[in-house]
Structure formats: structure tokens, C-alpha cells
């Protein structure tokens, strides 16, 4: 045996890292395998808990409101599963809300001392502004991304500032979309301007990526040029708030934000953006740092390989790396391999498959999906508030978050699953991706830890 572990976590996105950090906190010897870049690193960095009820079109005022709705209407939603306890039914929704609150508060505390402190809580959703100028409900954002009083203060004026040669963000169109939206909803601001900054971080003023700008701004000396122009432009239109693409740095984002606010006199914030996403990468790094600092073993570039699940207990996982295979003995496994981006779930013309253990997959409505053609799980309309059921497919789990078989029993007594490998929720439509990852990662880890402690006792 090459490595010995109490818990092996397969997958290094939000769910896996939460599970891993929690396990190390409980004194477990934890090994975490990350195959490649996670969907968390691709994410906007905003932490959605629940923005819309499944199929809903009204943005939820708070995650608590959404969780209560799920408790009564969607018992098999991953959040709904949190309510399956021995307690009586009238406390189901309270149980769910409290479990989510515990996990979310824990995450916030975990990242408190890091370079990416979080803003927000489950008692209200925030309106986050995107690089398109659209607004979406989300629960928590990194403090550098909080728009402050922009949409509350009747006299606020927004300046959208982009960078020449950085095509992800067109400040003119974003300002227009945002202003049209706010005006039609009779909300401030009533005025928004735009400007394009000449930054050329590494010489070129074309094909600039957010990563380049963030690295450039991690150097303290480079902020002053930006600040001077921003100040001038903000004064030109009387801007009280300045919206930037999320490029304020990997290490110095918060310091840069505060410095820019000092220099311009306006509230400066980062917009939500698309991959490659600096805030997503910041989140990934922050979590990995917490995991490693807590004593966890991180194997990057390794994926898990299993012969097959023959016994009722997983005792060994093979980690396949570029030049080596490691055999890891373990007492429990948390499967957090993600959906199609992460590779935990795959689809061919013959059906939907789970990629490590070949577990049974189900559709969003819990029909067995191992032989459903992916196309059958899609709608004709590309973008709808219903989402595509394909992205709600995955694993069906018991209330312990253990994957179940067609016979409706757990596939192994020490195998737990968390995050988007789970079925029964449609994160792109509901805006619940990282939230489900955090809470299920937290719970799956707790169950795995309890199991290991029980076995060891």
C-alpha cells in the first residue's frame, strides 16, 4: 500500500474540498484527488445557495425562503434530503435551514482570515451584477464583489470601466443593459457611464485575459496608473460606484479595492464574470490552502480508478497520475467528482454513466438514466428557467448521502457522494451550484467521519 488514509475524497472542487477540510478538522487522515481544474475554479466565485425554486421565475428574497419551499415541495432535492431525520415532520424545514446555516457559517469562518473574505448570509439574497450588465440573485460573494449601495441609494451613479483589448467585458453594453434593467424596475441608479482603460499589462493592448490583469495588479506599483484614470472618469460623470471586471488581483484584491476606493472616493467592486474567472480561482486556491494547512494530502493531476464495486465496503482506491499509480487504503470515500465538466458523470448515445464506480445514474426526476440517450433529457429551447433535465441527472443517494443501487440500497456502506455528481437539482437554472456543493460536502463528510469513528471505536 502506497498511502493510508481514513478518508479518501475524489474530486477537488467545492464539494470535495469542503468534505476534505471538514474531515481534517475532525482529525481524519485525508487524501484528496483532483484530476484537473474544477468547475468551482471556472465559476464566477459567487456562492449561490438558492436563487429560484426549481422551475420558478421569481427571484427568491432569501435562501431561507427557498429552502423552506424545497422542504415542502422537493423532498428529493439534495437540500430536501437534509430533512430526512428521525425528527417529526413539522421540523423538516427548520432542520434543513439549520443544516445549511451551519455549513455556510462554517465556510465563512474558514475563509475569514483568507484573502477572500465572504459577504452575505442565508437570510437574504444579494443582487450581484455581471459583466453583461445583468443582475442575478446570489447568497454570498467575495467582499471585493459587493456592489454596496449602488442599487439602494437614490442618488447613486455607476461607472462601468473596462480594459482595452480585454474582450470579455464591454463596459458600454454592460452599462446599457444594467441601466435599462434598473429603470424598468424603478430602482437606482438612474445614471451609468462607461469608460475603457488603457492598461496593456504585459506590453500588448490586445488579447488580454483577466488572469494577466489580475497578476499585473498583484504588483502594488501598478495600481496608481489605474487609480488616476478611474478618479478622473468617476469625477467626469459624478460616479459614486465603479464597476470593474473581476481582475483586482489573486492575492491583493481586497487591498486593491480599498486603495482604489481611497483614491477615487467611490465604492469600487468587481462584477461576476465567466471562465477563466479570477474570483473562481481565488476561491479554489483559498480552499486548497485551508485543506493543506489543515494537514490534508492533496494529489493534483490524479484521478481515481476502481476495478469494480464488488464488496459492500470500499477498502482501496487507486490514484492514477501522469507517471505513477498510487494504491491508497481507506476507511471511507467521498465521491465529489462533479457532473459533466468535472467528469464525474458522462453521457454517450447509450446512456448516462458514473465514471469511477459505474454507479447507477438517474435523471432529474429520478428515472434510471443508465440507458437514456442524453438528447432525451433536453428541451428544444436552449435557455429556459426550467433548465435541461440532463444537467439535473447524476447519482441518487440515501439520506446519509450514500449512492444507491437499482435495488434502492446503498452501493457501499462507506461510500458517500457530494456536489454536482448528485441528481435532483438543476443548478444553472436554480442558481444553487456552490451551495449544494458546500452543504452536501459538509454533510457527506460528517457522515463519513461518523462512520470511520464508529468502525474505529
Using the rule CB under 8 A, give the single segment among 17-25, 216-224, 333-341, 406-414 that binds other proteins: 333-341
b/e 129-151 (16+ beta carbons within 10 angstroms → b): bbbbbebbbbbbbbbbbbbeebb
Residue 343 interacts with other proteins (CB under 8 A)? yes
Report if residue 387 touches other proteins, rule: CB under 8 A. Answer: yes
List the one residue from 72, 85, 91, 205 that touches other proteins (CB under 8 A).
Answer: 205
Using rule CB under 8 A, residue 181 touches other proteins = yes
Which of 132, 237, 263, 292 contacts other proteins by CB under 8 A?
Answer: 132
382 near other proteins, rule: CB under 8 A:
yes
Q: Is the peptide bond before 276 cis (omega within 30 degrees of 0)?
A: yes
CA distances from 216 to 210, 211, 219 (A): 10, 9, 6
Name the one range near other proteins by CB under 8 A: 245-253, 298-306, 353-361, 388-396: 388-396
Q: Does 392 bind other proteins (CB under 8 A)?
A: no
Angle, CA of 145, 148 and 173, to the nearest 5°: 65
CB 161 within 8 A of CB 195: yes
- Measured from the CB of residue 204, what is the shortest distance to other proteins in angstroms? 8
60 touches other proteins by CB under 8 A: no
Stretch that binds other proteins, among 143-151, 243-251, 425-433, 447-455 (CB under 8 A): 425-433
In order of 91, 156, 344, 371, the CA distances from 81 in angstroms are: 13, 43, 21, 25
Tell me: does residue 379 bind other proteins (CB under 8 A). Answer: yes
Measured distance CA(18)–CA(111) in Å, rounded: 11
**Is 245 a binder of other proteins (CB under 8 A)?**
no
Q: How far is the CB of 279 from other proteins (least distance, A)?
A: 11
Q: Taking contact as CB under 8 A, which single stretch among the options 38-46, 240-248, 309-317, 440-448 is the one that binds other proteins?
A: 38-46
Nearest CA-CA partner of 197 in 218, 177, 217: 217
Closest CB to other proteins among residues 321, 351: 351
- 378 is a contact residue toward other proteins (CB under 8 A): yes
Residue closer to other proteins (CB basis): 206 or 407: 206
Q: Which residues pair with 192 in a beta bridge?
A: 158
Buried b (16+ CB within 10 A) or exposed e, 408-432: eebbbebbbbbbbbbbbbbbebbbb
Q: Rule CB under 8 A: say whether 340 interacts with other proteins.
A: yes
Binds other proteins (CB under 8 A): choice among 125, 256, 273, 440: 273
Q: Does 427 bind other proteins (CB under 8 A)?
A: yes
Question: Is residue 133 a contact point for other proteins (CB under 8 A)?
Answer: yes
Binding letters toward other proteins, positions 293-332, x by CB under 8 A? ----------------------------------------
Closer by beta carbon to other proteins, 141 or else 412: 141
CA 234 – CA 266 distance, rounded (Å): 8
Q: From 51, 73, 104, select the one nearest 443 (Cα to Cα).
A: 104
Sign of the alpha-carbon torsion through 402, 403, 407, 411: negative
CA–CA separation, 46 vs 269, rounded Å?
13
Does 180 bind other proteins (CB under 8 A)? Our answer is yes
Helix axis angle, 14-25 relative to 278-293, nearest 10°? Answer: 20
Member of 170, 256, 257, 361 binding other proteins (CB under 8 A): 170
Q: Residues 440, 447: contact at Cβ < 8 Å?
A: no
Place of cell 468547475: 39
- Out of 154, 203, 322, 381, the only residue in the binding site for other proteins (CB under 8 A) is 381
384 binds other proteins (CB under 8 A): yes
Separation CA 180–CA 229 (nearest Å): 26
Query: How far is the C-alpha of 317 from the C-alpha of 13, rounded, in Å?
Result: 19
Cβ proximity to other proteins: between 74 and 166 the closer is: 166
Phi, psi of 159 (to 5 degrees): -115, 120
Q: Which residues bind other proteins (CB under 8 A)?
A: 39, 42-44, 46, 48, 52, 57, 59, 130-136, 164-168, 170, 172-173, 176-181, 184, 205-208, 272-275, 339-341, 343, 346-349, 373-375, 378-388, 390-391, 427-429, 431, 433
Amino acid at each position: 500500500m502506497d498511502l493510508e488514509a481514513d478518508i479518501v475524497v475524489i474530486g477537488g472542487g467545492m464539494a470535495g474540498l469542503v468534505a476534505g477540510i471538514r474531515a481534517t478538522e475532525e482529525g481524519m487522515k485525508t487524501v484528496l484527488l483532483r484530476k484537473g481544474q474544477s468547475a468551482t475554479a471556472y465559476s464566477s466565485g459567487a456562492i449561490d445557495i438558492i436563487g429560484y425554486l426549481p422551475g420558478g421565475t421569481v427571484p427568491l428574497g432569501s435562501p431561507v425562503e427557498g429552502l423552506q419551499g424545497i422542504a415542502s415541495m422537493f423532498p428529493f432535492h439534495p437540500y430536501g434530503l437534509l430533512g430526512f431525520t428521525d425528527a417529526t415532520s413539522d421540523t423538516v424545514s427548520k432542520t434543513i435551514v439549520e443544516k445549511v446555516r451551519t455549513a455556510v457559517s462554517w465556510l465563512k469562518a474558514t475563509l475569514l482570515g483568507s484573502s477572500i473574505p465572504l459577504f452575505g448570509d442565508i437570510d437574504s439574497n444579494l443582487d450581484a451584477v455581471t459583466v453583461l450588465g445583468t443582475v442575478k440573485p446570489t447568497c454570498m460573494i467575495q467582499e471585493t464583489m459587493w456592489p454596496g449601495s449602488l442599487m439602494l441609494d437614490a442618488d447613486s451613479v455607476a461607472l462601468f470601466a473596462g480594459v482595452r483589448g480585454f474582450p470579455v467585458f464591454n463596459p458600454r453594453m454592460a452599462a446599457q443593459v444594467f441601466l435599462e434593467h434598473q429603470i424598468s424596475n424603478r430602482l437606482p441608479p438612474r445614471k451609468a457611464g462607461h469608460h475603457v482603460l488603457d492598461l496593456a499589462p504585459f506590453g500588448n493592448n490586445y488579447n488580454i485575459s483577466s488572469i494577466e490583469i489580475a497578476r499585473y495588479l498583484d504588483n502594488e506599483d501598478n495600481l496608481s496608473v489605474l487609480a488616476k484614470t478611474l478618479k478622473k472618469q468617476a469625477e467626469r460623470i459624478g460616479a459614486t460606484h465603479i464597476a470593474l471586471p473581476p481582475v483586482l488581483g489573486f492575492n491583493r484584491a481586497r487591498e486593491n479595492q480599498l486603495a482604489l476606493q481611497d483614491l477615487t472616493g467611490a465604492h469600487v467592486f468587481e462584477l461576476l464574470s465567466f471562465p477563466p474567472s479570477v474570483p473562481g480561482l481565488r476561491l479554489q486556491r483559498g480552499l486548497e490552502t485551508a485543506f493543506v494547512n489543515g494537514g490534508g494530502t492533496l494529489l493534483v493531476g490524479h484521478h481515481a480508478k476502481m476495478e469494480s464495486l464488488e464488496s459492500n465496503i470500499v477498502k482501496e482506491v487507486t490514484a492514477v497520475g501522469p507517471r505513477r499509480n498510487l494504491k491508497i487504503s481507506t476507511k471511507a470515500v467521498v465521491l465529489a467528482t462533479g457532473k459533466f465538466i468535472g467528469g464525474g458523470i458522462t453521457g454517450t448515445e447509450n446512456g448516462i454513466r458514473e465514471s469511477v464506480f459505474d454507479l447507477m445514474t438517474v435523471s432529474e426526476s429520478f428515472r434510471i438514466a443508465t440507458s437514456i440517450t442524453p438528447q432525451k433529457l433536453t428541451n428544444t429551447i436552449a435557455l429556459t428557467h426550467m433548465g435541461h433535465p440532463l444537467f439535473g441527472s447524476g447519482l441518487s443517494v440515501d439520506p446519509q448521502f450514500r449512492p444507491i443501487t437499482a435495488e434502492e440500497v446503498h452501493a457501499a456502506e462507506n461510500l458517500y457522494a457530494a456536489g454536482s455528481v448528485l441528481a435532483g437539482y438543476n443548478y444553472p437554472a436554480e442558481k444553487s451550484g456552490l451551495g449544494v456543493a458546500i452543504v452536501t460536502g459538509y454533510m457527506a463528510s460528517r457522515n463519513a467521519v461518523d462512520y470511520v469513528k464508529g468502525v474505529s471505536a
